[in-house]
Structure 1
Amino acid sequence: MAMRTIKTPQGITLNYQDEGDKKSPVIILIMGLGAQMTVWPDSLYYGLVKKGFRVIRFDNRDTGLSTHLEHHTNPSLFKSWLSKRLPIRAKTPYLLDDMADDVLALMAALKIKKAHFVGASMGGMIAQLIAAQHKKKVLSLTTIMSSSSLPRLSAKSIGVFIKLAKLQPKNTSHDEAINYNIKLNQLIGSPAYPQTEGALRLHATQIVKRSYNPNGYKRQLVAMAASKNRQHLIRKIKTPTLVIHGCDDVVIPVSAGKKTAALIKKAKLRVVPGMGHNFAPELMPLMTKWIVKHVKKAQRKHLNKKRKKQQQQKTTLV
């Protein structure tokens, strides 16, 4: 697995993996809250590469092997939650917009003009921001288990976030972190596709060994909580959009996925029975198939548009 790094104009180092033919259409995968790029299942990642795409996954700032912004003090979630409701401002280290700028910096460094975006959970929120504000760079958008607004999450979802915060290990030993990761995945996983404790332990061990940054998770959560409601922006998205959501998602309810699909013109919605807030291995062949079909269709649309434009230019020249 060849890992590389780039440095953004803001001085953030981003660690990324870039596979597939460099001349092929590009798919950029954006991961969710506190999750490293290796949470994208290899079966999905390499599945997309095998289908003829150049696929890039990367660690967001404050996760994995990208820059950890430890010089920021540990943010108070409660303060930032309050600041949404009262006229007090919590100090926010960064917003989702800054994380979106990281993705644009990665594209610029790799000389990628346009790409297909696939975002999971918070990664879907970042992808939505790019699709709404940098239309020319986005050929298609796929959001998985994501939402167009955080504040309207149900009490049940907020309860899950609080439970997760309470489960956070008190000391920073790797064993505690591994056990936390197992509990987390048991809490948010897909009820119809439960994973064995052994499989969860293996996954958790690999993740914690690669990188462990609990404060980064908190800073990203604050970025999410402090970012503006995106609903007005999302209506501006014109790019072909696919929304995939699990029926049994306890973190971001399926209603949030339905709402996103309703806000985006001609968006396609795929609701998956028995799927929670994770990538169940059994669902990866189906998810890969859906993404490939969606991306190929958008790519054809883009090429046809390009061809028409070239023909028009020729006619004008004649």
Structure 2
Amino acid sequence: MKIRANSIDIEVEDSGPGAAGQVRPVILLIMGLGMQLVAWPPALVQGLVDAGYRVIRHDNRDVGLSHHFDALGKPHLLWQGLKYKLGLMPRAPYSVADMAADSLGVLDALGIEKAHVLGVSMGGMIAQRMALAAPGRVLSLSSVMSTSGAKGLAQARPEVIRVLLSRPKGRDPQTVLNHYVRLFKAIGSPGFPTPEHELRERILLGVQRGYYPVGTLRQMLAIMADQTRAAQLRRITLPTLVLHGKADPLLPFVHGEDTARRISGARLVGIEGMGHDLPPGVVAHLLAALLPHLKAAETSRMTLSPT
């Protein structure tokens, strides 16, 4: 369904509040760079629903069925990337903080006061920005295969960067599909390989639903320009889970370690064999760490609330 959030149209999927008289705690799931809400593994969504949660997913701005910022034009990523390498501030058409405001706007539009927030990759950055901007709205923070954005951390492997920065050689569905299969194989989990036919089905769903690569470029610039977040993370005092793959070729494990170190009391969970994706085996590990984290945050909040 389409809702109006932060003055733009955002596509949302909501598992619903449950039966009449039933109050389900809400968890907001925020997807990563260029990814749509359909990229969330059904097993993860169902696992959260079965555990008693109202699960809300949305397309971030500039991807899928949410608002596309066509008027902002196509960014010159090579030039902006050079400025970033030289320590200069890239010029981004919007910010990660703007995307966090979109996510808060989703909660506003649905009449939700507070929610657990979980983000993966860029979604983890957005979730961190939500926790900084509106800590009273966030019951708990879960930052998965993400980063603080701090300078000097280990970078992606060169072959991964080459694939990430490459573009399909055509716009026909088969060419685009083959390109993204190559990308996801490059960043995938070596300990939890996804069969190629499943990978192709999953990617094709997104390509057919809303292929819009220029939006991904604008999101990438927003990430590059978000250079103050690392120093601000010490302000977060919310219950925080940092989950990261120990075999992540895009954001090496040190990014998870750094994020957890910067947030007071954060719990770091490393998964052997996990790369930069969410295959079924990883989902099982994620739920095993996530569900106790959510319950502990709810129990802590009830204990601290005045009677």
- 1:315 counterpart residue number: none
More displaced stretch, 138-147 vs 80-89: 80-89
- 1:244 deviates by 0.5
Q: Within 1, Cα distance between the matches of 2:228 and 2:241?
A: 20
More displaced stretch, 184-193 vs 152-161: 152-161
Q: Which amino acid aligns with 1:102?
A: D
Q: Within 2, Cα distance between the matches of 1:237 and 1:248?
A: 27
- 2:177 counterpart residue number: 178
Q: Within 2, Cα distance between the matches of 1:89 and 1:125?
A: 18
Q: Within 2, Cα distance between the matches of 1:55 and 1:287?
A: 15
C-alpha contact 2:153 2:254 (8 A) present in aligned 1: no
C-alpha contact 1:81 1:226 (8 A) present in aligned 2: no
- 2:17 counterpart residue number: 21
The answer for unaligned runs of 5 or more in structure 1 is 312-318
Q: Within 1, Cα distance between the matches of 2:131 and 2:211?
A: 31
Change beyond 3 A, Cα 1:158–1:139 = farther
1:7 to 4, 17, 37: 4
- 2:145 counterpart residue number: 145
- 1:250 counterpart residue number: 249
3-state SS in 1 of match to 2:207? helix
Change beyond 3 A, Cα 1:19–1:87 = closer
- 1:38 deviates by 1.1
C-alpha contact 1:150 1:225 (8 A) present in aligned 2: no
Q: Within 2, Cα distance between the matches of 1:98 and 1:302?
A: 28
Map 1:38-57; keep pairs closer than 5 Å: 38-57=38-57
- 1:189 deviates by 0.2
Tell me the TM-score normalized by structure 1.
0.90
- 1:87 deviates by 8.3
Change beyond 3 A, Cα 1:51–1:88 = closer
- 2:278 counterpart residue number: 279
Change beyond 3 A, Cα 1:201–1:9 = closer
3-state SS in 1 of match to 2:71? coil
Structure with bigger gyration radius: 1
Q: Which amino acid aligns with 1:196?
A: P
Change beyond 3 A, Cα 1:164–1:119 = same
**Aligned pair count?**
303
Q: Which amino acid aligns with 1:169?
A: P
Q: Which amino acid aligns with 2:200?
A: R
- 1:39 deviates by 1.0
C-alpha contact 1:80 1:226 (8 A) present in aligned 2: no
- 1:134 counterpart residue number: 134
Q: Which amino acid aligns with 2:110?
A: L
C-alpha contact 1:240 1:267 (8 A) present in aligned 2: yes
Q: Which amino acid aligns with 2:301?
A: H
3-state SS in 2 of match to 1:156? coil
- 1:150 deviates by 5.8
C-alpha contact 1:122 1:146 (8 A) present in aligned 2: yes
- 1:295-318 Cα deviation digits (max 9, x unpaired): 111011112222xx2x3xxxxxxx
Map 1:1-318; keep pairs closer than 5 Å: 4-10=1-7, 12-21=8-17, 23-84=23-84, 90-149=90-149, 151-157=151-157, 160-166=160-166, 168-306=167-305, 309=306, 311=307
- 1:92 deviates by 1.8
Q: Within 2, Cα distance between the matches of 1:281 and 1:86?
A: 40
RMSD of the TM alignment (CA)?
1.7
More displaced stretch, 262-271 vs 88-97: 88-97
Tell me the TM-score normalized by structure 2.
0.93
Q: Give me the identity figure in percent.
A: 38
- 1:132 deviates by 1.8
Change beyond 3 A, Cα 1:155–1:261 = closer
Q: Within 2, Cα distance between the matches of 1:87 and 1:285?
A: 40
Q: Within 1, Cα distance between the matches of 2:86 and 2:278?
A: 37
Change beyond 3 A, Cα 1:127–1:158 = farther
Change beyond 3 A, Cα 1:158–1:303 = farther
